[in-house]
Structure 1
Amino acid sequence: MRKLPLAAALTALMLCSAVHAKEHDDKDKKDKPDDKAEAALIKPQSSESEGSVSVEGKRVDYKAVAGTLVLHGSGDKEDEPQISMFYTAYFKKGVEAGKRPITFIYNGGPGSATVWLHMGAFGPKRVVTSDDSHTPAAPYGLVNNDYSLLDASDLVFIDAPGAGFSRLIAHDDDKGKRDEQMKDRRKSTYSVDGDGHAFAQFITQFLSRYGRWNSPKYLFGESYGTTRSAVVSNILENEDSVDLNGVILLSQILSFDNSIDGPQFNPGVDAPYITALPTFAATAFYHRKLPQQPAQLEPFLREVEQFAIGDYAQALMAGSRLDAGRKQAVAEKLHQYTGLPTDYLLRANLRVTGGMFEHQLQNDGGLTTGRLDSRFSGPSLDPMAKDSEYDPQSSAISSAYVAAFNDYVRKQLKFGENMNYRLFADVDHWDFAHKAPGVEGEALQQSTNVMPDLATAMKTNPNLKVLLNGGYYDLATPYFAADYEMHHLPIPDALQANITYAWYPSGHMVYANQDSLKMLHDNVAKFIGETDNVKR
């Protein structure tokens, strides 16, 4: 996945599974009303059920709705159904809906279903996976989620267009016109801005359908979902007049120039190497690959962070002006912090990408280090390669999530019979061009950066609060890169106080570690409780 042009590498960056099970559309069935059940999605569908969950010892009774909302076009196409978006909503019973917080939750991709956050983090049921090793094959365990977020908020899990049971709609009887419709749908939807408007339209339609306009409102996005949240928050605030109470970000990336997956295709941009270094150090610490093992992780990381933004950043900024003696000294310090050989670091010109690090750290034992969660390891596919060629963490847990949700949605939520649940939409040609707030004319053709969107939402709603969560062992979206972005938002200094930070000894999917899941739940529940403006 790493030997790609920059745009393709960035497309691959945010997948919550490095194993992208592409489901190319059958050309004769067209994305596909491939059976009567899917063809029926041109109209809203829903299936209701009831259940209860025990959250940290307290019972929560709920109503569940699994269904779809149909999004329409704009202008002369406002009566034309274009997207059927699947959701699963959980509503706590016995409470006043108008005062009950509601949180809209989605994974990233772009184009990922939201099975990960649903079955791993906040839904009432949680799939059991191994903490840092490959989960054995089926049958998988599905248990009460002691850390479901239903104690603090009603929940709406949303699948991106084309993923899960969500579908793009082409409904013309003429095959040629239907083909053109589907082509237009992909072009307008599979983009930063098209995706953002689809989610914003879904949210406003949901608020109307379920009478939740006066509820405290939150967005929760993971991975590319954080990119989406920045865009959607600005659309809701400044196009739809929907003030949000909070935006909750997990494993953030707002500026794709900060990706450690692609800086070799972007020479002259050294920030990714600087901000990934603490995660390299955390990973080497976990696998005991450091020349001198520190006693504790977090004090060690604070030391590495200071080196990263100090001597290391200065060395990289010097470029070809860096003298040999200083370069040797920096390489030796990097060896102390990463465990990588000094000569390897010198040959890499002090610049190691994520794929290089994942392949090299444990290569002496024939192992590749995980990307989404660097606590994981797996046999290297090619010990002589330059980069890692797969993600051991994705391979370790994806099957459990997919099997558990497919079983759960049909047997307990009573939805999806005779339908195919797609883990990912077919978004090979995702358009990363983005028109930032205030930009006139066409979207700029540049690396995606939605920091201005979040900043605009915060400035136009100065009461908006943000909670940033990240894992120390996340090599897909390193925590220090997220920290860097937040401290470079173009907002007044006073609004920095609206941002709260929380870091966890886990990876990209923080909740894959049960202790971190508890901490994540407690932090998010506290954040909602402090910002929902409900008088108690």
Structure 2
Amino acid sequence: MRRTRFAALALALVAAASLAVPGRALAQAAPAPGPFRPVPGVKDAVTHHTVTIGGRAIRYTARAGTILLRDGENEPVASMFYVAYTADGADTRTRPVTFFWNGGPGSSTIWLHMGSFAPVRVEVPKNATQPGPNPPLLDNPQSLLDVSDLVFVDAVGTGWSTLVAHGKGSDFYGVDEDAKAFEQFIQRYVTRNGRWQSPKFLFGESYGTTRAANVVNLLQGDGMAVNGVVLLSTALDFNILAIGQQGPGEDYVYEGYLPTEAAVAWYHHKVPGNPPDLARFVAEVRAFAGGPYAQALMRGDLLDDATRAQIVAKLHAYTGLDEGYIQKANLRIEPARFEQELLRGEGRNIGRFDGRYSGDEIDPNGTFPSYDPSDTMASAAFVTAFNHYAHDVLHYNDERPYDVLDFGVNGAWKLQRGQDSNAASVVADLKSAIVQNPSLHVLSANGYFDLATAFFATEYELNHMGLNADQRKRLHYAYFPSGHEVYLNHDALVQFKADMVQFYHEAGVR
């Protein structure tokens, strides 16, 4: 099994499918008290720094610490680790605060923290190559600290966030349980630091977008208005993600992922004719995927031979895959098979998180890739950099191993909500938040080469929320020549920073 971050998402979905109805009977029994876990005794670490952004030196305070979560009886049940960056001397009544988290589920927030908009950043080659075991950790001129204070938070069971006292994993390892934990964290952070009047933003990546859509609705339902939500590499409805093999008639996945497959083929120079403009090429494929291709797949076994031949030719023209392979695949190109097939002739596979990356395939005759080169090439660099940074720069003295990705948490994750046996969808939660708060703006940020959460599938999710024209004006989109973690491409990060600044302005920050 590929033990990658996306494998975490896959395992959670498989677990959701297998536990559907029987789990309700088990839930009726009173759970035994969990083992007692002491509250970690590590003190918050406060340090002071300066970073130059846009030619302006910004003095800031970094705080690495924890916030205790409590149950209905005010007993401690979990401790959530965070690192906050606050500009010195700013007026907190007008200064935004943005909360960041990754997903998994079961992932820490090391990726966003060390790669995107914090005042420091791991230097990763922009040509999708191995950064090496000890990459430099540099000041980040693309940091958002010139616009907003920043808080990077680890979910319970990840990083240095942990269960305490008699806290139970079942109280946190689920779609709604997890969202309530993050809601409580934000409420406590805002109260402790006097940020109730501050404009507030949420930034989630991957499963973190699932969390963000849920959390914003919870916060607003409990009286805390939110100005903006950023959804990076979106997973709002697990029923349309390409995880595992699709069942008969589940053709929306093939339609949703085709433009991304075409973009990846374009990057690797496999598209016949080598179209010069990526965005224009993707727009053409998007129109085909939602039109003739979708109509052909809808015909199923009744599709006539002439139309089938036309679709095969188009799929070859957009992906570079052999027409015979497309015929045998019955016009349906599974993303995981595509990752193995595109460069099969070279004995290489391509990354699921970021299709720009490729690696030598362990089993060149295999149906699926043996590993994800976009994951393995970046993980060690981030882990090394974070541990150095946390201990030697922030001086946070927790000697426990930092749990980057916990498959135990992932395997225990409950993706069903309430009595629904289907995998989670938070589309309705996001719609509720948008409709009830006419000041809430949402930014959907997408990498063209992301084969984990495809941008066209994301558009499908957001276009089916049932919003009116005025509400849709508060939905914003951004696209980048990068993968799941857009910020791994430095040029894309520069563009992303500019788009984020514009988004803050759209959401009322001046």
Instruction: Determine the structure 2 residue equivalent to 1:246.
Output: 228
Report if the CA contact (8 A) 1:164-1:423 is conserved: yes
Displacement of 1:336 in angstroms is: 0.5
Q: Secondary structure at the match of 2:356?
A: coil
In the alignment, residue 203 of structure 1 is paired with which amino acid? I
Instruction: Determine the structure 2 residue equivalent to 1:260.
Output: 242
Instruction: Determine the structure 2 residue equivalent to 1:72.
Output: 70
Q: Secondary structure at the match of 1:97?
A: coil
Cα deviation, 1:358-397, whole Å, max 9, x if unaligned, reads 0000000000011111010000111111112211011111
Cα deviation, 1:21-78, whole Å, max 9, x if unaligned, reads xxxxxxxxx9996xxxxx442x78411110011113221110111000010112xxx2
Instruction: Determine the structure 2 residue equivalent to 1:36.
Output: none
Name the CA distance, whole Å, in 1 between partners of 2:207 and 2:162: 19
Among residues 176, 200, 223, which one is paired with 1:193 in the alignment? 176
Instruction: Determine the structure 2 residue equivalent to 1:51.
Output: 49
Instruction: Determine the structure 2 residue equivalent to 1:318.
Output: 299
Structure 1: state its 5+ residue gaps: 15-29, 34-38, 172-180, 435-441
Q: Secondary structure at the match of 1:157?
A: strand
Displacement of 1:498 in angstroms is: 0.5
Name the CA distance, whole Å, in 2 between partners of 1:484 and 1:389: 30
Q: Secondary structure at the match of 1:96?
A: coil
Cα deviation, 1:428-447, whole Å, max 9, x if unaligned, reads 1210002xxxxxxx331102
Among residues 213, 221, 231, which one is paired with 2:196 in the alignment? 213
Instruction: Determine the structure 1 residue equivalent to 2:206.
Output: 223
Instruction: Determine the structure 2 residue equivalent to 1:499.
Output: 475
Instruction: Determine the structure 1 residue equivalent to 2:451.
Output: 475
Instruction: Determine the structure 2 residue equivalent to 1:446.
Output: 422
Name the CA distance, whole Å, in 2 between partners of 1:297 and 1:317: 28
Displacement of 1:259 in angstroms is: 1.0
- Distance verdict in 2 for CA 1:9–1:126, change over 3 Å: closer
Q: Secondary structure at the match of 2:59?
A: strand
In the alignment, residue 495 of structure 2 is paired with which amino acid? M
- Distance verdict in 2 for CA 1:31–1:99, change over 3 Å: farther
Instruction: Determine the structure 2 residue equivalent to 1:115.
Output: 110
Report if the CA contact (8 A) 1:358-1:388 is conserved: yes
Q: Secondary structure at the match of 1:98?
A: coil
Name the CA distance, whole Å, in 1 between partners of 2:123 and 2:397: 23
- Distance verdict in 2 for CA 1:285–1:381, change over 3 Å: same
Name the CA distance, whole Å, in 1 between partners of 2:484 and 2:251: 22
Q: Secondary structure at the match of 1:422?
A: coil
Name the CA distance, whole Å, in 2 between partners of 1:371 and 1:393: 7
Displacement of 1:111 in angstroms is: 1.6
Indicate the percent of aligned positions where both proteins have the same amino acid: 42
Among residues 54, 58, 61, which one is paired with 1:60 in the alignment? 58
Among residues 422, 439, 459, which one is paired with 2:403 in the alignment? 422
Report if the CA contact (8 A) 2:50-2:60 is conserved: yes
Name the CA distance, whole Å, in 1 between partners of 2:7 and 2:353: 20
- Distance verdict in 2 for CA 1:392–1:133, change over 3 Å: same
Among residues 393, 398, 418, which one is paired with 1:412 in the alignment? 393
5 Å-filtered alignment, 1:151-300, equals: 151-169=146-164, 171=165, 181=166, 185-238=168-221, 240-262=222-244, 264-300=245-281
Displacement of 1:482 in angstroms is: 1.1
Instruction: Determine the structure 2 residue equivalent to 1:18.
Output: none
In the alignment, residue 467 of structure 1 is paired with which amino acid? L
Aligned length: 487
Structure 2 length normalisation: TM-score? 0.92
In the alignment, residue 196 of structure 1 is paired with which amino acid? A
Instruction: Determine the structure 2 residue equivalent to 1:490.
Output: 466
Bigger drift between 521-530 and 224-233 goes to 521-530
Instruction: Determine the structure 1 residue equivalent to 2:492.
Output: 516
Q: Secondary structure at the match of 2:234?
A: coil
Instruction: Determine the structure 1 residue equivalent to 2:23.
Output: none
Cα deviation, 1:115-146, whole Å, max 9, x if unaligned, reads 11111001111111222444253332111101
Name the CA distance, whole Å, in 1 between partners of 2:501 and 2:8: 37
Name the CA distance, whole Å, in 2 between partners of 1:98 and 1:143: 31
5 Å-filtered alignment, 1:250-399, equals: 250-262=232-244, 264-399=245-380
Report if the CA contact (8 A) 2:200-2:228 is conserved: yes
In the alignment, residue 257 of structure 1 is paired with which amino acid? N
RMSD: 2.1
Structure 2: state its 5+ residue gaps: 15-33
- Distance verdict in 2 for CA 1:31–1:335, change over 3 Å: farther
Name the CA distance, whole Å, in 2 between partners of 1:31 and 1:374: 43
In the alignment, residue 93 of structure 1 is paired with which amino acid? D
Report if the CA contact (8 A) 2:256-2:457 is conserved: yes
Bigger drift between 246-255 and 322-331 goes to 322-331
Report if the CA contact (8 A) 1:261-1:353 is conserved: no
Bigger drift between 330-339 and 422-431 goes to 422-431
Displacement of 1:291 in angstroms is: 2.0
Cα deviation, 1:233-274, whole Å, max 9, x if unaligned, reads 110111x11110011111111111221233x24332211111
- Distance verdict in 2 for CA 1:533–1:54, change over 3 Å: closer
